Amino acid sequence: MKKIIYAVVIFSCIVFGIFSVTGQAAYSQGKKTSEEGKRVIAHSEADAHKAVEQGCRIVRKIKTLHAVVCSEKTADILGFEEDVRVFATDAGANHQIGADTVQAGGNTGAGRKVVVIDTGYNYLHPELASSYLEGKDFVNGDDDPMDDNGHGSHVAGIITADGINPQAKGVAPDAGIIAGKVLDAAGSGFFSDVVAGIYWAIDGPDGIASTSDDFHPDAINMSLGTARPYVYKNFCDSVLPDVTAAIQYARQRGTAVVVAAGNSGSAGVSIPGCVSYSVTIGAVDALDKIASFSGRGNAVDLTAPGVSIFSSYPGGYATLSGTSMATPMVSGVIALLKAAQPTLSESAVESKLFKTAKDLGRRGKDPTYGWGRVNAQATVSLTEGTHKITPRAGDHPLHDAHEE
């Protein structure tokens, strides 16, 4: 086989390499308020006048109520009531997949762990701080996985954002995140770092299996993959055998490896999504229609919402589209499922996900939707048995390796 140098580049930019983050930016950052400082309420003309004398600015007057913007320090000195921010209550993708119903029943993924292998993790973001457990930076060779791109924090927020802004609430807001930074500030990196990240996710910091520092994650989320021409309509296990071996290793030790199908549309599925041991995720819109960019091929197992997904981002929030956004939806559902049924094997987790998916496209499994759109409510509610799926004629046996 011809030797190929596999580099990484973010998919929402011009592709100069062949490995990319599979998210497309609708906005580079969430919309910022034009007001600098803290917004508080003055309940009388006298209080409003006092605030103005202290350098505050009146931004709204309703009868005797004045909304004023002050510096943080001045607002604290004045001691006025904070003008509390409100948000639209649209549950968005969480409602589409039934995760909001699972959460309403008391299951928020508490006690479960997901490893996010991406551009890093902004552990200082208010939506993400409480979920951070541990991390490693494979790009710079240290233990600080701070996100200098934004993609990884957006992906992680889809899994576990606290919901300070309810529209950004994660699928499993009480799950913990272990962050492996394998992509740099430009969203690029190398498969050798991805492979190292997978083994680290399973074996822990000491690199030795079955020791006290093992993380025991329920899922590894990889919203990344190759771009054209390195996409495949069938399985690609022999193309990068080290990647295949690492994913198989994780699965054998009870961890689902959830991977984006990529954004190459009908051209095929990217590596490592086309590896037969991956749980490979395509993207649908809010109406469960396949996204035009969603990678298609025999490796696709499931779809999830991946169009205009609102989540945490450096400086606030952002709305992004891509199979990168669909993939953590499924990782979050796995956290919910394992919170409800912690003794499930990895194969049983996969079986329940596939069995309960909302069938879309052709009946049964197909190269566009896989088994269908993930259904958190049905998956978590399905408690009896492992519900093995017998593939239809033309389907691949689960995890049987093929190559285009």
Is 118 a residue of the active site? yes
Q: For the segment 267-314, what is each residue's pLDDT rounded down to a tens digit? A: 999 999 999 999 999 999 999 999 999 999 999 999 999 999 999 999
Residue 385 banded pLDDT, cuts 50, 70, 90: very low
Mean pLDDT for the stretch of residues 175-184? 97
The torsion angle over the Cα atoms of residues 92, 115, 368 and 305, rounded to 10 degrees, is: 0
Greater pLDDT, 153 or 81: 153
**DSSP state letter for 190:** B
What is the pTM for the complete model shown? 0.80
**DSSP state letter for 372:** -
Residue 14 banded pLDDT, cuts 50, 70, 90: very low
**Could you tell me the residue ranges of all domains in the chain?**
19-28+89-381, 38-82
Greater pLDDT, 86 or 339: 339
End-to-end CA distance of the chain: 13
**Catalytic option among 131, 278, 324, 351:** 324
**Catalytic option among 100, 118, 193, 237:** 118
**Calpha distance 19→6 (Å, rounded):** 6
**Calpha distance 269→222 (Å, rounded):** 14
Helix (H) / strand (E) containing 136: strand 132-137
**Catalytic option among 83, 147, 148, 151:** 151
- Asked if 174 and 108 count as a contact pair (C-beta separation under 8 A), the reply is yes
**Calpha distance 31→145 (Å, rounded):** 25
- Is the pLDDT at 6 greater than 90, yes or no? no
Q: For the segment 321-342, what is each residue's pLDDT rounded down to a tens digit? A: 999 999 999 999 999 999 999 9
- Cis status, amide bond into 166, omega within 30 of 0: no
For the chain, give the longest Cα–Cα distance: 80
Is 292 a residue of the active site? no
* Placement of tokens 């899922």 in the chain: 219
Q: Using only C-alpha atoms, what is the Rg of the chain?
A: 22
**Calpha distance 351→354 (Å, rounded):** 5
Token duo for residue 356: 């309960």
Q: For the segment 32-73, what is each residue's pLDDT rounded down to a tens digit? A: 334 578 999 999 999 999 999 999 999 988 877 889 999 989
- Find all residues with CB under 8 Å of 33, minimum gap 6, and list them: none
Average pLDDT, the chain: 87
**Calpha distance 176→326 (Å, rounded):** 19
Confidence (pLDDT) at 13? 28
**Calpha distance 304→375 (Å, rounded):** 9
- Asked if 284 and 305 count as a contact pair (C-beta separation under 8 A), the reply is yes
Helix (H) / strand (E) containing 24: strand 24-25
- In this structure, what are the phi and psi dihedrals at residue 151, rounded to the nearest 5 degrees? -60, -50
Q: For the segment 90-122, what is each residue's pLDDT rounded down to a tens digit? A: 568 999 999 999 999 999 999 999 999 999 999
**Calpha distance 362→212 (Å, rounded):** 46
Is 151 a residue of the active site? yes
Q: How many residues does the chain have?
A: 404
- Is the pLDDT at 145 greater than 70, yes or no? yes
Class of domain 19-28+89-381: alpha beta
